[in-house]
Chain A
Amino acid sequence: MKALTKLTRWLAAMALGCMLAFAVHAQGNLEVDSPAISALKASMQKRHAQLAPLYASGAIGFATDGSIALRDASLLPLAQRGGASALVAAENADRSALYREIARANQHPEWEVDIRNTFAQRWIDRAQAGWWVQRGGAWVKK
């Protein structure tokens, strides 16, 4: 069981890595790395182990603005909702920093909004089946 949990986490981390990689490969000028970007990706991958079950349950979904959102907290026990809310806030802080850092690494800080939009679409496209994503302002289960 423990091995299965580890495997699941590993697969989830790999999936996130692929999502990041695909997102970066989406535009040549986004294929950039820096220690700050690596630190952010590492932080996000570490958190992903906690977030993946919440994506799968539908409690948290991928929003159209490149952030994640507490979509349906009722799927969680009351005592876990505050923690989930804090996870969402921390993940969104990292995501915003990631978009800024990629823009900076490209020497174009003004690209932040475009980068955010590109990532938002890629996060949604690459989300696993059964996860919830926002489309046209509405939540949709993939």
Chain B
Amino acid sequence: MCSQPESFWRRETLGRALAFALLALIALFAPRAHAVEGLRLAIGDISHPALSANDIQLEFSAARSTLEVHIARLRLGDRSWRELHLSCPQASLSAQGVHCSGAQLGVHGRRLPLVLDFHADPAASRVAVELRLSSGAQVRLSLDDEGRFEAVLARLGLEDLSVLASLLSPPGAGELLRYLTRGQVNARLVWEPEGAGRARDSLTLTARFSELAFGTDDGLRAGEGLGLAVELAAHPTPAGWGWQAQVAWEQGEAYLHPLYLQAGPVLDAAGVFHAEQIEIHKATLALEGVAQLAFTARIGRADLSLDDLALSLSGGDLAILGPRWITPLLAPALVERLHFGGQIGAGLEIEDGRVQAFNVVFDAAELSLAAADGGRGFGFGPLTGHLPWLAGSSSRARLQVQGGYWEALALGAFDVNAMLQGQQASFETMRIPLLDGMLVLDEVELGRESEGWLGRASVAVEPVSMRLLTQALGLPSMAGLLSASLPGVRVSPAEITFDGALVMSVFDGYVQATQLHVREPFGVASHVRADLEARHLDLAQLTETFSFGSITGFVDADVRGLELVRWRPTSFDARLVSSAGDYRRRISQRAVQNISALGGAGAMAVLQRGLLGLFDTFGYRELGFQCVLAGGVCLMRGIDGSERADGSFQIVRGGGIPALDVIGYNRRVDWDELVGRIQRVIDDNVTPELH
């Protein structure tokens, strides 16, 4: 139909062909009808390019004013019906034409639930038909002497559509009705041929769909209470039917998995209906959160496949588009934690059903992911730049990030430059300011594999002042530097592993973390594992920093299998010993008291207790302990893992004058309780209770 619109409509329209046929019948038989009681007519075939009818039986009774028409087979276009029967209880046949009221129509022995009136005036070339369906819906069709055809649908409900669909079997109706569950349409369609001041044929449609509902069996595509206003104008062109339309979604809601959408969008489009496809030359979609969205497209008519698309979006408000469109599509599990801000622009090209290119332009965009435990998490922005992608070739992405944060740590401005190819991305070195140092990400590669996004990188931290770092983290101020060289970082959705070492030079010694792993980095079970090695830490600085009294000397520590969940230790095997060497070893009375306080009532004992109040400091030969934390309990041992016969263990072995030993009696220490005590000692400088 669409490929040859002119040949179908211009001169020999369906309606006109019927009118001519009726005119011929009346001209031949009407004069005789006045003279006879009835008329019986048999016509073998009527044939026309647009229609054909076979074995037509017509019987008119003037006495009863009835008309019976039987057609064995009727074809209109590419649709056909068998055994059509029209029974008209009030009919007249005269020179003014044929008139029928209250006719019943049956197809193949089945009576259709509608009543039909029609009037045909062949002399004036006018035909009017009105269908009244049992639901109260009406369909009015009329054709005037200028060839103007009008169809008006009033209050046509879903059941009525089913009736008409069963009668007309339009393409796609079965599929459409399978998913439609409710709805009503009021519409007016007008066809006007060229002439009478019209330069060309034209078709206009005004339709309003209300209370429309549809749904697939699984509920993943559904709409309810939909109100749509459709305006369409079309005209035949050599290429097909040129059209322009506006569709306004005025009411209702829809779920197109995983997107929940509400009324508001308005589509303005123009294009051409071809025989095999629908071409959209120009379309704009008014959508909340988008300044402008325009596209062109080519859609297959048979399966409504999106063959070609060129889409351009500008002025996208990420605060709206993020939660409504981006997160449900890309990261539904993070819908409550992922937040967006700023503006975005985007382009997308699809050819032959395949994505050929897309690009995203960020304008002061912000992206943040809150931690699963309610913490601040991390975020980046404002972020500006261009991220293009091309199928089958490489492209370069350039982004300027004004800053960011990771929990309490602020990150400075940095650039991201990357080559994109297929599902792989290679990044140029990124230098991210971190306090007075620099986080350097080198040789960063990201790729999408079957198990998700995988990546690798080389990470270095150029020295960061411990003073600034501890200040930022809200910890007691420490002197020293933090640096890291982690040449083999591997990232997967389940784990980030760091080969290499992170080193803090603190308290005149150093703490080195190796075997670093972050497991389940983006989920509630996020936890860090590492081995720590501390050497030659100056106890004087350390105890001063933590207001723990005063201990002079140096210690080494090893913490194996340290596991941190939400930055709290949950397991480790730690040992701390005095560093080897010749140095001054003194412990203050307050430090002794604090150590004792940590043990709780009765947990620690101090030998030579009577001397404690007489001296400010005491000499010691060595100090140390071991703690194996598991299941919330720290299993303690003394210096070198020693344990005395009575189950006690020595933490400080005295030496010099006055000498002092500190003995622990409680080997099983509740870790949370111990941490609480340390915190209280540091915060409140509590007076220890000695026994």
Contact surface of A with B, Cβ cutoff 8 Å:
34-37, 39-40, 42-43, 70-76, 78-79, 81-82, 85-86, 88-90, 92-94, 96-98, 100-101, 104
* Contact flag A39-B524 (CB < 8 Å), given A74-B222, A85-B332: yes
Is B657 close to A, CB under 8 A?
no
Q: Which of B257, B372, B527, B571 contacts A81 (CB 8 A)?
A: B257
On whether the beta carbons of A35 and B520 are closer than 8 Å, the reply is no
Q: Which of B218, B258, B333 contacts A72 (CB 8 A)?
A: B218
Question: Who on chain B is nearest to A75 by CB?
Answer: B219
Is B137 close to A, CB under 8 A?
no
Chain A neighbourhood of B219, CB < 8 A? 72-76, 81
Show 30 residue pairs from A and B whose CB-CB distance is below 8 angstroms, ordered by the A residue.
Answer: A34-B571, A36-B519, A39-B525, A43-B525, A70-B220, A73-B218, A73-B257, A74-B216, A74-B219, A76-B219, A78-B223, A79-B253, A81-B222, A81-B260, A82-B258, A85-B258, A86-B328, A86-B335, A88-B332, A89-B335, A90-B333, A92-B333, A93-B333, A93-B523, A94-B523, A96-B494, A97-B525, A98-B525, A100-B519, A101-B520
Q: How large is the interface on B (under 10, 10 to 19, 20 to 34, 35 or more residues)?
A: 20 to 34
Chain A neighbourhood of B494, CB < 8 A? 96-97, 100
Could you give, for residues 564-577 of chain B, a 1 whenever the CB lies within 8 Å of some chain A CB and a 0 otherwise?
A: 01000011000000
Question: Who on chain B is nearest to A104 by CB?
Answer: B519
CA distance A96 to B220 in the complex (A): 24
On whether the beta carbons of A36 and B527 are closer than 8 Å, the reply is yes
Chain B neighbourhood of A79, CB < 8 A? 253, 260
Q: Which of A72, A78, A98 contacts B260 (CB 8 A)?
A: A78
On whether the beta carbons of A39 and B253 are closer than 8 Å, the reply is no
CA distance A71 to B258 in the complex (A): 13
Main secondary structure of the interface of B (DSSP, over half): mixed
On whether the beta carbons of A35 and B563 are closer than 8 Å, the reply is yes
Chain B neighbourhood of A71, CB < 8 A? 218
Chain A neighbourhood of B570, CB < 8 A? 34-35
Is B655 close to A, CB under 8 A?
no
Chain B neighbourhood of A37, CB < 8 A? 525
Question: Who on chain A is nearest to B220 by CB?
Answer: A73
* Contact flag A73-B524 (CB < 8 Å), given A35-B563, A79-B260: no
CA distance A86 to B525 in the complex (A): 18
B324 nearest CB across to chain A (Å)? 9
Is B133 close to A, CB under 8 A?
no
CA distance A37 to B571 in the complex (A): 14
On whether the beta carbons of A78 and B332 are closer than 8 Å, the reply is no
Is B612 close to A, CB under 8 A?
no
Chain A neighbourhood of B289, CB < 8 A? none
Contact surface of B with A, Cβ cutoff 8 Å:
215-220, 222-224, 253-255, 257-260, 328, 332-333, 335-336, 372, 494, 519-520, 523-525, 527, 563, 565, 570-571
Most chain A CB within 10 A, of B255, B494, B527, is at B255
Main secondary structure of the interface of A (DSSP, over half): helix
CA distance A90 to B524 in the complex (A): 10
CA distance A26 to B551 in the complex (A): 53
Chain B neighbourhood of A85, CB < 8 A? 257-258, 328, 332
CA distance A97 to B520 in the complex (A): 7
Chain B neighbourhood of A89, CB < 8 A? 332-333, 335
CA distance A116 to B310 in the complex (A): 43
On whether the beta carbons of B254 and A78 are closer than 8 Å, the reply is yes
Question: Who on chain B is nearest to A86 by CB?
Answer: B335
CA distance A81 to B258 in the complex (A): 8
B554 nearest CB across to chain A (Å)? 32
A87 nearest CB across to chain B (Å)? 9
Chain B neighbourhood of A101, CB < 8 A? 519-520, 525
A132 nearest CB across to chain B (Å)? 13
CA distance A76 to B219 in the complex (A): 8
A84 nearest CB across to chain B (Å)? 10
A77 nearest CB across to chain B (Å)? 9
List of 4 A-B pairs having minimum Cβ-Cβ separation, nearest first: A74-B219, A73-B219, A89-B332, A89-B333
Q: Which of A74, A97, A104 contacts B217 (CB 8 A)?
A: A74
Chain A neighbourhood of B257, CB < 8 A? 70, 73, 81, 85
Chain A neighbourhood of B217, CB < 8 A? 74
B519 nearest CB across to chain A (Å)? 7
* Contact flag A74-B215 (CB < 8 Å), given A35-B565, A79-B260, A85-B257: yes
Question: Who on chain B is nearest to A74 by CB?
Answer: B219
Chain A neighbourhood of B519, CB < 8 A? 36, 100-101, 104
CA distance A37 to B215 in the complex (A): 40
Most chain A CB within 10 A, of B257, B519, B520, is at B520
On whether the beta carbons of B520 and A82 are closer than 8 Å, the reply is no
Q: Which of B218, B332, B335, B520 contacts A36 (CB 8 A)?
A: B520
Chain B neighbourhood of A35, CB < 8 A? 527, 563, 565, 570-571
Question: Who on chain B is nearest to A85 by CB?
Answer: B258
CA distance A96 to B492 in the complex (A): 13
Chain B neighbourhood of A86, CB < 8 A? 258, 328, 332-333, 335-336
* Contact flag A97-B220 (CB < 8 Å), given A35-B565, A78-B260: no
CA distance A70 to B217 in the complex (A): 12
Question: Who on chain A is nearest to B216 by CB?
Answer: A74
On whether the beta carbons of B333 and A74 are closer than 8 Å, the reply is no
On whether the beta carbons of A94 and B524 are closer than 8 Å, the reply is yes
B226 nearest CB across to chain A (Å)? 11
B178 nearest CB across to chain A (Å)? 14
